[in-house]
């Protein structure tokens, strides 16, 4: 058993446990609205932090200009309520083209 197998199994068991919370508790416990509110706000906070760090940094350093430029194009499309697929493809294509043109 190497590290990646351990990581995969631990992640699988833990994630499934989280997902089972609702169906298992359904009809038995009421979650306070404030807790539910903070849980969903926390999810967005984590996702936005992941978005920011994943866009601007790579291994603890600045990621270069090509990636943030691509993400910016994708985010602009998302802001204009473009379909997911268009957002993802435009972001990747922009970054790829900038790299092809020699931008980091």
Task: Name residues contacting other proteins, limited to 52-91 (CB under 8 A).
Answer: 52-61, 63, 66-67, 70-71, 74-75, 78-79, 81, 83-85, 87-91
Q: What whole-number distance in Å separates Cα of residue 69 and Cα of residue 94?
A: 7
103 forms part of the interface with other proteins (CB under 8 A): no
To other proteins, the closest distance from the beta carbon of 28 in angstroms equals 10
To other proteins, the closest distance from the beta carbon of 70 in angstroms equals 3
To other proteins, the closest distance from the beta carbon of 47 in angstroms equals 5
102 forms part of the interface with other proteins (CB under 8 A): no
Strand partners, 58: 61
x/- mask, other proteins, residues 13-42, rule CB under 8 A, reads -xxx-xxxxxxxxxx---xxxx-xxxxxxx
Q: What whole-number distance in Å separates Cα of residue 51 and Cα of residue 83?
A: 18
Q: What whole-number distance in Å separates Cα of residue 24 and Cα of residue 66?
A: 45
Q: Provide the token pair at 85.
A: 């697929």
Q: How far is CA 57 from the centre of its chain?
A: 14
């Amino acid at each position: 058993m190497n590290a990646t197998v351990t990581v995969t199994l631990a992640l699988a068991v833990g994630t499934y446990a989280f997902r089972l919370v609702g169906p298992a508790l359904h009809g038995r416990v009421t979650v306070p609205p404030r807790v539910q509110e903070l849980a969903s706000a926390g999810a967005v906070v984590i996702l936005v932090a992941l978005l920011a760090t994943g866009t601007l940094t790579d291994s603890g350093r600045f990621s270069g200009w090509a990636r943030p430029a691509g993400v910016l194009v994708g985010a602009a499309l998302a802001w204009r309520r473009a379909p997911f697929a268009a957002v993802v493809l435009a972001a990747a294509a922009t970054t790829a083209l900038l790299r092809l043109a020699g931008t980091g």
